[in-house]
Each structure stands twice: as structure tokens, then as C-alpha cells.
Amino acid sequence: MGAGEIEERGGGGPPATEARSTRALALTGVVGGGAFVALMVAAERIYDAVTQEDGVAGLDRPVLEAAIALRTPVSEAWVTAFTNLGRTVPMVVMGVVLTTVLFLRYRRRTIWVLMLVASAGGVLFTLVGKTLVGRNRPDPVFAVPPYEDSFSFPSGHTLNSTVVAGMLAYLVVWLAARTWSRVLAVAAATAWAVAMGLSRVFLGHHWLTDVMFAWLLGLGWLALLVTVHRVVLDRRGRDRPALDAPPDADFPSRAGLG
């Protein structure tokens, strides 16, 4: 069979490869874009419920009352110690340390680019959301000290924990060769974000809907960043490093993203 006949049948030539690449690129955009839109629609509905004081916002007080009933001096101390890890300084320290570890292991400048953009977005969304909505936190009589005086919506601890942990997990999924590493990273990030959000409600520092909105907004922001990154990788034909290649084998010859 001649080369011309193989090309006519689409058997592995450049046109076939380009077609597969185009389909993969389109699929990435559709799936990622769909996830982003779905998460933003869900977040918008929670926002509407909060501003109109109806719908899912009706769960805020019953959930807070249930949390109060579950508190003990020991649980309050442990949960307070955990939730304090979501404050600005501890999150910055942990984020920088773990991002540095990933960079030293895989030697990709994109690791820092993605983490910095993700973190900056999380902080910006927190500040803008609190300013625009201006929602009061639960009454301090229902909260465990130390008390906080900033606005309640959205939960900054939850939003930024979701974004930072989620981006770290994505970087591991993208770069790690071993399946167990990827699974562990996703599981750890999920557990961290969920626990951080629940701790805010348990301690009476936030309403449930503050936390739910933060989860959705954080995941939506991650979905957008990951989709853009995957599209860039697909367009440049550079996905994860080969499983049998050294982690920094191609670092000197690569410029830009990826």
C-alpha cells in the first residue's frame, strides 16, 4: 500500500493527527467551559438566595444551631487550631513551601504562574465579594472566639483554601507520573477545602451559604484556569511529561507556559 493511499484513508498522516488534536482541543473547551458555567450558575443562585433571604439561605440558622449543639470545649479548641491554618500568613507559608517543592521536583515555571494567578484571583474575589454584599456574620454570642469583624460573604478562609489546595492538586495531576500521587493529591485537597469550610460554620464565624458560595466560586475559578492551561498545552502539543522521562529533562529548552 502506497503512502498516497494511506494518506487518502487518513492513516496516521499529518491531517489525521491535526484532526485528532482539534477534536481534543474542542473537547477540552466544552468540558472545561461547561464546568465553569455550571459552577457559576450554582454560585449565582446562592448569591440570589442570600441577597433575597430565601431559598437555601433558610438553612443558615438551623445549621448554625446544630453546630452549636455539637460543640464541646475540646472540639472548639481543635477546630479553632485547624481553622487558623486558613488565615493569610499560614496559607501563604504553606502555599509557597508546597509550590517550591513542586517546582524543584518538576522544574516548570508554569507551576508558579498558575499558583500566583489562582491565589491572586482568590484574594481579589474575597475582597470584592465582602465589599459588594456587606453581609454581617452570625452574632458573636453564637461564635467561638477569637471573633472577626470583617463582612461574612463569601468565606475567605474557604475560598482561598479551595483555590490553593485545588491548584496544588491540579499541578500534581498534571505533572506526577504515578496514579496514586494524583489520587492522593485530589483527595487531600478535597478534604482540606471541605474541612476548612465546615470549620467556619462550626465555630459560628460564617453562615453555611457563605461557605457554599466560596466552594463554588473557588471551583469555578479553578475550572477556568485549568481549562485555559489545558488548551494552551493542547495547542502546543505538550501534555504531561513522558512517564519515563526525568522531571527536568526538557526544562532548559522550553519557554513560556508548560
Evaluate whether 87 touches 148 at the Cβ level (below 8 Å).
Answer: no
252 part of a folded domain: no
State if pTM tops 0.95: no
The mean of the pLDDT values for the chain is 87
Task: Work out how many domains the chain is built from and give that number.
Answer: 1
Q: Which residue has the cell 465555630?
A: 203
Rounded CA separation 45/216 (Å): 11
> Residue 204 falls within a domain, yes or no?
yes
Residue 173 lies in a domain: yes
Residue 9 falls inside a structural domain: no
Q: Which domain holds residue 171?
A: 23-236
Report if residue 224 sits inside a domain.
Answer: yes
Report the pLDDT value the prediction gives residue 246, as an integer from 0 to 100. Answer: 42
pLDDT tens digit sequence for 19-45: 666 776 777 888 889 999 999 999 999
How do residues 68-101 score in pLDDT, each as one tens digit? 999 999 999 999 999 999 999 999 999 999 999 9
Answer whether residue 14 is part of any domain. no
Q: Minimal CA–CA distance to 114: which of 15, 230, 217?
A: 230
Backbone angles phi, psi at 196, to 5 degrees: -65, -45
Residue whose cell numbers read 513522558: 242
The per-residue pLDDT for 248 is: 42
Distances (CA, A) of 257 to 25, 95, 102, 121, 250: 17, 20, 16, 19, 13
Confidence of residue 171 (pLDDT cuts 50, 70, 90): very high
Asked if the structure places residue 13 within a domain, the reply is no
Between CA 100 and CA 220 the distance in angstroms is 25
CB 126 within 8 A of CB 160: yes
Return the DSSP state at 59: G
C-alpha dist (Å) from residue 111 to 50, 98, 179? 36, 11, 19
- As given in the structure block, the three cell numbers for residue 166 are 485545588
Residue with cell 460554620: 201
pLDDT digits (tens, 9 = 90+) for 41-62: 999 999 999 999 899 999 999 9
In a domain, 16, yes or no: no
For residue 208, is pLDDT > 80? yes
